[in-house]
Amino acid sequence: MILTAVPLSLPDLHAFFQILFGTAFILFSIYGIATVKRHVTKIHVTDQAVSLQGLGSATVNWFEISGLKLSYFSTSRDGSDGWMQLSLTGDRQNIKIDSRLNGFQTIARLALNSAEANHLTLDPATIDNLVALGVPSKVMSLSNVTGEGALA
């Protein structure tokens, strides 16, 4: 970030380079802020809720989960490398949790148990990602029988 900021302070910098270094500075700044936010955020999981505390805070009670989505983001063309993101929707707040976090599979299992208790319908991609993550559930057998991700 500093390497892109220093040239911006030069008085006779051509407009092309001002745009180039300015854009790089903005992108690196956004990435830096996201990294700091991720490192200072703490996740607390209890029997009642999951909450994020850090630069911003959010809490979703297990009994009020109205949406669960598990997305996979590939970093390679063949799909072999990447990470998952668990999105939980509550009555008032949403939480997104990155799979690079220790204990992610446990949180995903708790979220799925809550989704089943709340009779949520999961999309096929979420079901496939839960299977890939190794989170066992009755939703897997339902999807094989009915062809849908509906929970009974």
Domains, the chain, ordered by start? 2-38 (no CATH), 43-146 (2.30.29)
Ranges of residues in the chain with a pLDDT under 70 are 1-6, 8, 137-152
pLDDT at 91: 86
The whole-number pLDDT of residue 64 equals 92
Are 114 and 65 within 8 A, CB to CB?
yes
**Residue percentage of the chain with pLDDT more than 90:** 36
Q: Report CA dihedral (13, 16, 19, 23) to the nearest 10 degrees.
A: -110
pTM for this predicted structure:
0.71
Task: Tell me the pLDDT tens digit for each residue of 78-114.
Answer: 877 889 999 999 988 999 998 888 889 999 999 999 9
Angle 73-78-80 from CA coordinates, rounded to 5°: 60
